[in-house]
Structure 1
Amino acid sequence: MTEYKPGDKVKYNPIGGASSKVSTTTGTIVDVKGSGTDAVYTIENDKTNKKREYHAGNIKGTPDTK
C-alpha cells in the first residue's frame, strides 16, 4: 500500500472506496493520522477547498495514475 504525506496531490473517491463507480476528484493531503491500511488522510479538495478525512481505501493514486 502506498503511503502519502502532507503536500501530496491525490485522486480519490469521495464516496465509497477506490473501486466505487462514483466520479473521482483530486485534492492535496494536509494531514495524516495512522499508517498503512489504517491511515486516515485529511484531503483539501482542489475545486471546493473543503477539507475532509478519508480512509486510505478511498485514494486511487496520484492525478497522473490511470
Structure 2
Amino acid sequence: SSQPGDKVKYNPIGGASSKVSTTTGTIVDVKGSGTDAVYTIENDKTNKKREYHAGNIKGTPDTK
C-alpha cells in the first residue's frame, strides 16, 4: 500500500472505472487502511492537496 512521500499516478475525478486521464502527485497523508484508506495527494502540476480513495490510485508514475 502507498505511504506518505510516495509518488503515485491517480484519477483526479471519478472513481476506479473513470475514463478520465490520470495525473501524478505525492501522497502527503493517509487515513485508514486497506480498501477504506483515504489518501491526501498533492498534485504535481497544481500543488493542490485533495483526498482520494484507494480506488483512484493507479500505481506509480511508471505504471502503464
**1:3-51 deviations in whole A, cap 9, x for unaligned?**
xx00000000011123311011000000000000000000000000000
Q: Partners in 2 of 1:18 and 1:61 — Cα distance? A: 12
Aligned residues: 62
Structure 2 unpaired stretches of 5+? none
Length-normalised TM-score, structure 2: 0.93
Q: Partners in 1 of 2:40 and 2:47 — Cα distance? A: 12
Q: What is aligned with 1:38?
A: 36
Percent identity of paired positions between Structure 1 and Structure 2:
98
Root mean square deviation of aligned Cα = 0.6
More deviation in 17-26 or 30-39? 17-26
Local SS of the residue matching 1:63: coil
Cα deviation for residue 57 of structure 1 reads: 0.5
Q: Which runs of 4+ in 1 moved over 6 A?
A: none
